[in-house]
Amino acid sequence: MKRIPVVIMTLILVVGGAFVHGATTHRWSLLAPPASRAEAIHDLELKLGANAQADIPSELPIKERSRVTCRRYVFPNDVGTVVVSITSGPPGAVSTHTPDVCYPSSGYKTVRAPKKETVDLPGGGTASYMVAVYEKKTTTSIDRQRIRWAWSADGEWDVPSTARLHLPYLRSSELYKMYIVTPDVSRNDERSESDPAPIRTIVADVFAQYARSLRAGR
């Protein structure tokens, strides 16, 4: 008789685990978020004062039921090129595959380890994000990139220590991950790790415009 409650409890745990997994991966269509919100985010054209912008193929790894949009913005001044990538999908899929794992595994050397930074946003509020520098050398060129990344479920951009276990993300039906990538032309002997003012302004504008779109789509 005592074994019956144990069996029932085990069954509850199994069913509960399957339900949670289905919710966080969008396997249950009933729990999937409205497609219109993600469409609006991926269709958003940022107003950054760029000379030109274009969608480009993404090399970012994506998991089941996720989507990524990648755009290149070209500026007329010393800023040069800025690439913005936005990924949407189930929290369990979008919360993983960060640059500190993907870039070294793709042959890039870590020049500057990830560091958390916070920027004030136009119109109020802040965005927190990780920033790191990665480099890949070939016989003819050096590709050095400064990469910034953060997550948001509701317009608040942040980088929790363990995104895949962050409760506010797990409670959300959809999670968004942002990459902002610029060429890094600093020398190894330069001590300043902060972005130049023009790039920092663009970074703030990118986070702010996506934040407004996310809040509008609630």
What token pair was written down for 22?
Answer: 């289905």
Query: Do 23 and 50 belong together in one domain?
Result: no
Whose tokens are 């500190």? That residue is 100
**Domain containing 5: what range?**
1-32
pLDDT tier, 97 (very low <50, low <70, confident <90, very high otherwise): confident
Which residues, including other chains, have CB under 8 Å from residue 126's CB and lie 6 or more apart?
118, 119, 120
- For the stretch 189-212, pLDDT in tens is 454 567 899 999 999 999 999 999
Task: Work out the average pLDDT over 67-81.
Answer: 91
Query: Do 10 and 117 belong together in one domain?
Result: no
φ/ψ (deg, to 5) at 172: -90, 150
Query: Do 18 and 100 belong together in one domain?
Result: no
Total structural domains in the chain?
Answer: 2
Least confident window among 30-44, 49-63, 72-86, 147-161: 30-44
Query: Do 15 and 121 belong together in one domain?
Result: no
* Contact predicate 211/125, CB 8 Å: yes
